[in-house]
């Protein structure tokens, strides 16, 4: 079932590029709940939307795709009018998807360690460790990202071999420590994780979905971690501003 679901989401996302109307058959449009605040529901069918987008010669690259129970989540690169890196999350009921979340960020140049926002390991392994890896990330998010206990970083992040894909950071976890403790002029945290909404795990890969503020702006934080022997060994992320409610085109909320 999970293999079929991942393939159907792969086909759905590539349908943006090709305009193939068959790709949207995986979506139960009568039940579909859209959590992208800027996307309208109901008035434009997905097949019609995809056909229109295909005329702009979009490019869709699926870098990584995972499954966790009724969820399929993917790490993607899009080139519509601009190049963006995205995490896509779909919830299934049976063979069709009924709910969708995403988080997009403009593609940026490789960081000082030479890593892009999407390169790195793609192979899922250690399926028997998915739940322990999930619990590790749950603890890391609470302890380090929300409570800002950076002294605990060595308890969660590998001391050697760590690979960082955030464009503003490096492989040296001291850079992460500094970024998490950085403050604005008024003393408030520059990066402030406040609420942890969801954790999805597939073997050695875990995605966390959080809400908070970056530089005083309401933001969504999607962080993908690769773990090895119970420690974080690689990290990717996207940060997106949550639009003000007056700009929403649906009432389902970002999270």
Measured from the Cβ of residue 63, the count of other Cβ atoms closer than 10 Å reads: 16
Which segments of 182-249 does DSSP mark as H helices, in order? none
- Confidence (pTM): 0.95
pLDDT in tens, 175-208: 999 999 999 999 899 999 999 999 999 999 999 9
**pLDDT for 241:** 98
Predicted confidence (pLDDT) at residue 129 exceeds the cutoff of 60: yes
pLDDT in tens, 81-111: 899 999 999 999 999 999 999 999 999 999 9
pLDDT in tens, 59-84: 999 999 999 999 999 999 999 889 99
**pLDDT for 107:** 98
Beta strands of 6-119 (E only): which ranges? 33-34, 59-68, 71-79, 83-93, 96-106
pLDDT band of 38, cuts 50, 70, 90 = confident
189, two tokens: 């945290």
CA distance 141 to 136: 9
**pLDDT for 45:** 62
CA distance 6 to 12: 10
Distances (CA, A) of 87 to 61, 78, 239: 12, 11, 10
User: Strands 96-106 and 83-93, how do they pair?
Assistant: antiparallel
């Amino acid at each position: 079932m999970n293999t079929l679901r991942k393939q159907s989401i792969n086909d759905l996302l590539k349908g943006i590029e090709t305009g193939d109307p068959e790709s949207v058959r995986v979506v139960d449009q009568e039940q579909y709940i859209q959590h992208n605040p800027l996307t309208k529901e109901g008035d434009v069918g997905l097949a019609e939307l995809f056909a229109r987008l295909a005329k702009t010669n979009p490019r869709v690259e699926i870098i990584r795709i995972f499954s966790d129970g009724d969820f399929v989540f993917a790490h993607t690169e899009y080139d519509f009018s601009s190049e963006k890196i995205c995490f896509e999350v779909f919830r299934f009921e049976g063979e069709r998807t009924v709910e969708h979340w995403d988080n997009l960020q403009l593609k940026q140049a490789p960081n000082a360690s030479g890593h892009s926002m999407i390169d790195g390991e793609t192979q899922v392994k250690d399926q028997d460790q998915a739940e322990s890896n999930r619990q590790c990330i749950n603890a890391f998010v609470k302890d380090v990202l929300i409570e800002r206990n950076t002294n605990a970083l060595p308890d969660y992040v590998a001391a050697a071999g760590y690979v960082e894909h955030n464009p503003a950071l490096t492989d040296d976890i001291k850079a992460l420590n500094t970024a998490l403790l950085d403050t604005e002029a008024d003393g408030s945290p520059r990066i402030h994780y406040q609420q942890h909404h969801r954790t999805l795990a597939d073997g050695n890969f875990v995605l966390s979905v959080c809400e908070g503020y970056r530089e005083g702006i309401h933001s969504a934080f999607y962080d993908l971690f690769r773990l090895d022997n119970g420690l974080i060994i690689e990290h990717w992320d996207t940060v997106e501003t949550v639009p003000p409610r007056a700009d929403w085109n649906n009432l389902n909320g970002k999270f």
